[in-house]
Structure 1
Amino acid sequence: MREAIGLSNSSMLSIKDLTYSFSDERPIFQKISLDVQPGEFVSVIGASGSGKSTLFKLITGLLEPDVGEIRIGQQDTKRRLGQVGYMPQKDLLLPWRTVLDNVLLPLEVTKEKSQEKIPGVREWLACFGLADYENAYPNELSGGMKQRVAFLRTLVTGRDLLLLDEPFGALDSLTKRNMHSWLLGLWGELRKTVLFITHDLEEAILLSDRIYLLKGNGIQEIKVSLPRPRSSELIYQSDFMAMRKELEWLIQHER
């Protein structure tokens, strides 16, 4: 455990003294601050209704804070739309578009020359184990394959900061375990900065450098000191189990 680190001029994401509420209701957040450095994998956990998805909407610019500052890199706090790659829990693949066409969608939205990007996208499809499925439709894919397509579509945005909102929450435990191994290997190669929402404590510990726990209308930071590279076998080790027990206690006593 450690105290929250100070905001840095080189941060990929800096949030300072954030307060937000819906209408005249009690604030969901009140003067919370967090910081994410380039190349970090940071998870956000908390009970249902603690505001995790709302926090993501604030970061993306879909919502504006009542008070406080949100800064992505050196971007002005009011110019956040389109500055991050965002992947929600549901894959949101368009059923009438093939895998390749779904992946190319962000380029079409930004009016980039998507046809010129196809060779590079095909290379990524091969890396993701999807080379034989570029002409398949979403209903022909497994749950894990759909999530890989959705993640590739997020990468195609070209953003260095990726917000992943419970991307594996709907998967069965075995598929989720395979996705953890896949994501750990991929993140190690890409060195993208990831902010990751999850209800799964094992998932948070296995994947993350740090974890932020939303509690009440505040926030607490937990350092994950387990060495990298990591594998799914880590969940059986005593240090891992001790950290899970600590997180469970913090969540149970969060209010």
Structure 2
Amino acid sequence: MLSIEKLTYAFENARPIFQKISMDVKVGEFVSIIGASGSGKSTLFQLITGLLEPDQGEIRINGENTENRLGKVGYMPQKDLLLPWRTVLDNVLLPLEVSKENRQRKIPQIREWLGRFGLAEVEKSYPDELSGGMRQRAAFLRTIMTGKDLLLLDEPFGALDSLTKRNMHSWLLGLWGELQKTVLFITHDLEEAILLSDRIYLLGRESLQEVKVSLSRPRSTEIIYQSEFITMRQELERLIHDEN
């Protein structure tokens, strides 16, 4: 789904944020990127989406090496960016309007997804009437409605309180099998990365390290108390410490 080879990028007159990093994301995988603040995680997303161009290296999406990557992936930033003057339903319909698809024909399908996302009863509500978790679910559904197979999620649960975040994890784990999407996910939360992911990449100044998550699916949030999970978290903490 996504292949990055020997990618190098630096802002003007600055040292490279990363040099010659390579990674692959297979179809249907959930892959997280972790790393210290300033390691270039969000910059990497901007390169993948086409908002920035690399100094060196290649980015392939679905096997295509194209400089015009804008619109090739679905992107969800940490802030939900829901339009305050539009209802939940109208916010979710926005990608269809941008792509000039027939919105009326899609409404029954979208209402079905609203039900799966626990938003059916608030489809006529406005963003300021929703809880933080509902806003993020609406923003996530809007990202899915772009129709893109590869979704880039940049700390989508980072601004939520711990209880709401845990509920979002349970919700996403329960929904994951139905989504049939490929996800690249940025997080600072090591538990979140292990709980949700098939693989994790640790992005450092000079390297990109891969960690495989051997936990079987389906998963529940209770897995965080198991010894295998705790050992994996300790290993990630060690790798981050060594990187710094």
TM-score (ref. length: structure 2): 0.98
Cα distance in 2 between the residues matched to 1:79 and 1:115: 30
Task: Give the equivalent residue in structure 2 for 1:115.
Answer: 104
Q: Deviations over 1:36-61 (max 9, x none)?
A: 00000000000000000000000001
Task: Give the equivalent residue in structure 1 for 2:125.
Answer: 136
Q: Offset at 1:189? A: 1.6
Aligned CA-pair RMSD: 0.9
The answer to whether 1:160 aligns with 2:155 is no
The answer to whether 1:227 aligns with 2:225 is no
What is the DSSP-based 3-state SS (H/G/I as helix, E as strand, rest coil) of the residue aligned with 1:69?
Answer: strand
Q: Offset at 1:124? A: 0.7
1:88 aligned to which of 67, 77, 91: 77
Q: Offset at 1:99? A: 0.4
Paired letter, 1:176: K
Structure 1 portions without partners, runs of 5+: 1-11
What is the DSSP-based 3-state SS (H/G/I as helix, E as strand, rest coil) of the residue aligned with 1:103?
Answer: helix
2:52 aligned to which of 54, 57, 63: 63
Given that 1:45 and 1:199 are in contact with CA atoms closer than 8 Å, whether structure 2 keeps it comes out as: yes
Given that 1:88 and 1:164 are in contact with CA atoms closer than 8 Å, whether structure 2 keeps it comes out as: yes
What is the DSSP-based 3-state SS (H/G/I as helix, E as strand, rest coil) of the residue aligned with 2:136?
Answer: helix
Q: Deviations over 1:4-52 (max 9, x none)?
A: xxxxxxxx00000000000021000100000000000000000000000
Q: Deviations over 1:147-180 (max 9, x none)?
A: 0000000000011101000000011111111111
Given that 1:27 and 1:217 are in contact with CA atoms closer than 8 Å, whether structure 2 keeps it comes out as: no
2:207 aligned to which of 218, 228, 231: 218
Q: Offset at 1:198? A: 0.2
Task: Give the equivalent residue in structure 2 for 1:5.
Answer: none
TM-score (ref. length: structure 1): 0.94
Task: Give the equivalent residue in structure 2 for 1:7.
Answer: none
Q: Deviations over 1:175-217 (max 9, x none)?
A: 1111111111211122210000000000000000100000113
The answer to whether 1:72 aligns with 2:56 is no
What is the DSSP-based 3-state SS (H/G/I as helix, E as strand, rest coil) of the residue aligned with 2:86?
Answer: coil
Moved over 3 A (4+): none
Q: Deviations over 1:204-239 (max 9, x none)?
A: 000001000001132110111111111100000111
